[in-house]
A and B are shown apart, each in its own frame.
Chain A
């Protein structure tokens, strides 16, 4: 997740902006966003948009990253019943939705629990 940072006032953005939203400076440099965040709000969505049919019902949430940047992302590997406003989440790299008509695979970010089940079992082993 490549965003950017204002060199003048240090504000951070994702997606990257051309003009700093806080101080209006045009002096910005690319910055990788932190993967850790928390849930601000969330929903269990039964009807999604095209390309997500096979993942319904899907959970997505409004996530606030540890640097204050906010985004919308699908929440995965997190039992819906245990999800709360304030739950800690972490970015994971995933196949986002159904492949395109000529076979292109859409990859992107989703958010999961701070420690994915795979990581947990690897540590336990």
Chain B
């Protein structure tokens, strides 16, 4: 019988012919955590910060994308015109990009395409999520709508459960231990302590993680990222537009690669549960475009929705051979002062995970780090950074590489 869990072997290789260079001119974020503000208020706060950082007026924005997944839980869809109207530029076209937890990076990617193709010179990308008005079961249910709901969520499987299954498969195949996974959480909480915008400012130990309540075995509460409210925003522009910005141009960072791939919506349709093929493909595409390799990356922001996800990300992107990211993390290689700093912002685990904002927030961290403005969590001599943002259990993934000249 032929394999029915087949991965496409004729993966389309995008050509990006005649693409212009695209830059992040400025970026800003709200604090992540529980907020009394609505999605639109959070989005406007972050957008204004990004505009101020960029030194531009709202009227300079030619088009926008809003990254959001669950605004309907607040009984508000169609966020584009709501947010653009709030900025006084109602005539600017803006639509929502939704790809579950990777909505943010997908929106960055689409703005990159639009500017690179020469359609626009200046775009605003704002990611936002507001979920703290929901009780836990309702929030968990909303999140499960990002999986293959009829065949996963409707059978009772939540995201912690699906990632728990990934974790168990990884432990069985590579001997990864629960203590090793706990090290990811301890490290990210340590970094989050240094980030004033993080959801959590709490130092934790491996014992704290091991003794926290089981959410979906083998994952425990401290293996999981929180539900956060928050927004993050970035202004993307062409080289020509950037050069007109005088002083602000010196802080711009170049997007040297944008990789984007898909995977099956359902986890069970994958031949291997210990890897997200979308991340492998998006990472490969990004490294090829940039002409770089993992050794060239000064730090990464990866999608650690659960501790196991950070380990899988590092293996999918080629930073460590299969099954070896856990040991490297335990040895401290991924700490801010390690050889491969991962999630200096605190990651989804400690900085927080306002779904639509997460991928844009990773860009904010890159913008601050590459401009040496990250304070106590500054990665020394950071010049090239990578972001990795995953939708659901890997139905979508976007990988970007940034460079400061």
Tell me, in angstroms, the Cα distance from A41 to B166 when the chains sit together: 7
With A46-B213, A58-B156 as known contacts, state yes or no: A41 contacts B273, CB within 8 Å.
yes
**Cβ of B217 and Cβ of A44 under 8 Å apart?**
yes
Measured between beta carbons, the chain B residues less than 8 angstroms from A22 are 2-4, 6
With A9-B2, A49-B158 as known contacts, state yes or no: A43 contacts B151, CB within 8 Å.
no
**Which interface residue of A11, A70, A71 has the most chain B CB atoms within 10 A?**
A70
With A43-B161, A47-B137 as known contacts, state yes or no: A60 contacts B155, CB within 8 Å.
yes
**Cβ of A45 and Cβ of B169 under 8 Å apart?**
no
Is residue B73 within 8 Å, beta carbon to beta carbon, of the partner chain? no
Of A13, A23, A40, A74, which one neighbours B155 at CB under 8 angstroms?
Answer: A74
With A44-B214, A49-B153 as known contacts, state yes or no: A68 contacts B4, CB within 8 Å.
yes
CB proximity to B under 8 Å, residues A96-125: 96-97, 108
Is residue A85 within 8 Å, beta carbon to beta carbon, of the partner chain? yes
Is residue B95 within 8 Å, beta carbon to beta carbon, of the partner chain? no
A79 CB → nearest B CB, Å: 14
CB proximity to B under 8 Å, residues A36-90: 40-53, 55, 58, 60-63, 67-74, 85
Measured between beta carbons, the chain B residues less than 8 angstroms from A96 are 154-156
A92 CB → nearest B CB, Å: 13
Tell me, in angstroms, the Cα distance from A52 to B157 when the chains sit together: 10
Tell me, in angstroms, the Cα distance from A12 to B169 when the chains sit together: 24
Of A13, A45, A52, which one neighbours B4 at CB under 8 angstroms?
Answer: A13
Tell me, in angstroms, the Cα distance from A61 to B318 when the chains sit together: 29
**Which interface residue of B3, B4, B6, B214 has the most chain A CB atoms within 10 A?**
B4
Interface contacts (Cβ under 8 Å), in number, total 127
Is residue B192 within 8 Å, beta carbon to beta carbon, of the partner chain? no
**Cβ of B156 and Cβ of A97 under 8 Å apart?**
yes
With A43-B168, A46-B215 as known contacts, state yes or no: A71 contacts B268, CB within 8 Å.
yes
What is the interface residue range for chain A against chain B? 35 or more
A85 CB → nearest B CB, Å: 5
CB proximity to B under 8 Å, residues A1-23: 9-13, 15, 21-23
Is residue B84 within 8 Å, beta carbon to beta carbon, of the partner chain? no
26 residue pairs from A and B, CB less than 8 Å apart:
A11-B1, A11-B2, A11-B3, A12-B1, A22-B2, A22-B6, A40-B273, A41-B273, A42-B168, A44-B214, A44-B217, A45-B158, A45-B215, A46-B214, A47-B140, A49-B141, A51-B156, A60-B161, A61-B165, A62-B268, A69-B4, A70-B268, A72-B267, A73-B155, A85-B169, A85-B172
Binding site for B on A (CB under 8 A): 9-13, 15, 21-23, 40-53, 55, 58, 60-63, 67-74, 85, 96-97, 108
Binding site for A on B (CB under 8 A): 1-6, 136-138, 140-141, 144, 150-158, 160-162, 164-166, 168-169, 172, 213-219, 266-269, 273
